[in-house]
Amino acid sequence: MVERIEVEVAEPYPVFVGARMDVAGAVSGVLEPAACAILTDSEVGPLYAGSVRQALEASGWRVACVVEVPAGESSKSLEVYAEAVRQLARSGLTRDGTLFALGGGVVGDLGGFVAGTYMRSINFVGLPTSLLAMVDSSIGGKVGVDLPEGKNLVGGFVQPRLVLADLGWLGTLPDRQISCGLAEVVKMGLLSGGKFFESLDLLQTARKGDTNALQTLVSHSLRFKAGVVAEDELERGRRAILNYGHTIGHGLEAAADYSLLHGEAVAAGMVAEATLSSRRFGRDLVDLHRALLSDAGLPTQAPKIPAEAVLSAMGRDKKRRSKDSRDEHRFVLLEDVGEPVWGVQVSELETRGAIEAIVG
Ligand SMILES: NC(=O)c1ccc[n+]([C@@H]2O[C@H](COP(=O)([O-])OP(=O)(O)OC[C@H]3O[C@@H](n4cnc5c(N)ncnc54)[C@H](O)[C@@H]3O)[C@@H](O)[C@H]2O)c1
Ligand SMILES: [Zn+2]
């Protein structure tokens, strides 16, 4: 079954989720076939770019070029960005063209930035192939690249015209990457509460690749994120709740020199932030976090890193504001399942305690 979810931002767009979808059919319902380019990476391209290209061409699209970048975070760079826009220019893609981003979050973030800036913007279509991209990065419009000085430091908000997530693509995604996508699912289930939270009992089944379980979790996640993003497109307020687990998670990721995958760092970060939540609000959700994350195949501890290194990396995070005190951190905490509070100030001392509980 193909589900259609609307993202009601200023220029609304649909997200289609299903298994073995008619990609070209869904696209043609939203955009007239014209010239296009496909951006992908060196792992996803050989698996799926050929069939996507064929399907598009069979329904009247003209594929001007397929741009394949090396797989991995290093492709979110100004150098790879420059090479990608130059390939579009050389292929003769015009302003009425469309860029299809076929890949994980790296291709999606890079592709949105390419589409939003090439000829001052062309149509952008997301074809997320990793679970993380399907449930999180493909919607919401945040796009961009990294600098040697830090992650995601250059970018903008570029909304796609549509997003199409074919669950069949997950069949080739490594288990560790599936678990990382599930970290964001657990995060959103805890933030949402209700039926979404209850559906987290499907985590183990989904992890084994069961399409129905995956579809339930992906569509709950998309509906939840779409609702949050529609309320606060430019992250002026409530959208901040999506950073649950990420304040400490980003610190761990940087302090471990990116040897932990994002979802693994966020998993341990959520356990630490659940500890802070229970100290602040009295409701102990730490064991619940551990149980859900282990169902998802994620660690609930981080490698042995000094808490000081994590705190220092948190101090450099781009989400910090210049007026934030050096001795306090702002967190999204949970009063209970489904009851997030954002902007909660926590002292450096208390933060250090929560980090020490999860490292080593
Ligand atoms: N824009 C946002 O709102 C947002 C939100 C969260 C994360 N992100 C960004 O997303 C990126 C991480 O995304 P990711 O985890 O998808 O990483 P990724 O794009 O690097 O994909 C992970 C790996 O899986 C491979 N892969 C992807 N789909 C596959 C498939 N179907 N079969 C086999 N291999 C496949 C990729 O080639 C890559 O090697 C980070 O750069 C992060 O900053 C952005
Ligand atoms: Zn995340």
In the chain, the largest separation of any two C-alpha atoms, in whole Å, equals 61
What's residue 341's pLDDT?
A: 97
Predicted model pTM: 0.96
User: Measured in angstroms, how far is the CA atom of residue 184 from the centroid of ligand 2?
Assistant: 6
Residues tagged active-site: 120, 142, 184, 225, 235, 239, 243, 246, 250, 262
What's residue 319's pLDDT?
A: 67
Residues 6+ apart with CB under 8 A from 100: 36, 37, 38, 39, 52, 56, 111, 125, 127
What's residue 232's pLDDT?
A: 92
Query: Ligand 1, residues 40, 106, 143: which to mutate, most atoms within 8 A of Cβ?
Result: 106
Closest CA to 112 of 103, 66, 223: 103
Ligand 1 pocket (Cβ < 6 Å) reads 41, 43-44, 47, 71-73, 76, 103-107, 109, 129-130, 132-133, 136-137, 140, 142, 152, 169-170, 172-173, 177, 180, 262
What's residue 149's pLDDT?
A: 87
User: Measured in angstroms, how far is the CA atom of residue 133 from the centroid of ligand 2?
Assistant: 10
User: Measured in angstroms, how far is the CA atom of residue 47 from the centroid of ligand 1?
Assistant: 15
Closest CA to 149 of 328, 19, 316: 316
Query: Ligand 1, residues 40, 139, 177, 232: which to mutate, most atoms within 8 A of Cβ?
Result: 177
Query: Ligand 1, residues 23, 44, 166: which to mutate, most atoms within 8 A of Cβ?
Result: 44
Domains parsed from the chain with CATH numbers: 3-172 (3.40.50.1970), 180-359 (1.20.1090.10)
Find out whether 116 and 108 touch, Cβ atoms under 8 Å: no
Tens-digit pLDDT profile for the chain (360 aa)? 899 999 999 999 999 999 989 999 999 899 999 999 999 999 999 999 999 999 999 999 999 999 999 999 999 999 999 999 999 999 999 999 999 999 999 999 999 999 999 999 999 999 999 999 999 999 999 999 999 988 899 999 999 999 999 999 999 999 999 999 999 999 999 999 999 999 999 999 999 999 999 999 999 999 999 999 999 988 899 999 999 999 999 999 999 988 899 999 999 999 999 999 999 999 999 999 999 999 999 999 998 999 999 999 998 776 666 666 668 899 999 999 999 999 999 999 999 999 999 997
What's residue 85's pLDDT?
A: 98
Residue 307's Cα: distance from chain center in Å?
26
In single-letter form, the type of residue at position 102 comes to: L
Calculated CA dihedral for residues 214, 217, 223, 228, nearest 10 degrees: -130
Q: How far apart are CA 188 and CA 224, in angstroms?
A: 7
- CA-closest residue to ligand 1 atom 3: 137
What's residue 150's pLDDT?
A: 85
Strand pairing category for 123-128 and 142-147: unpaired
Name the packing angle between helices 348-356 and 262-281 (round to 10°): 120
In the numeric block, which tokens belong to residue 11? 């220029």
In the numeric block, which tokens belong to residue 213? 């379980």
Find out whether 101 and 39 touch, Cβ atoms under 8 Å: yes
Q: How far apart are CA 46 and CA 328, in angstroms?
A: 47
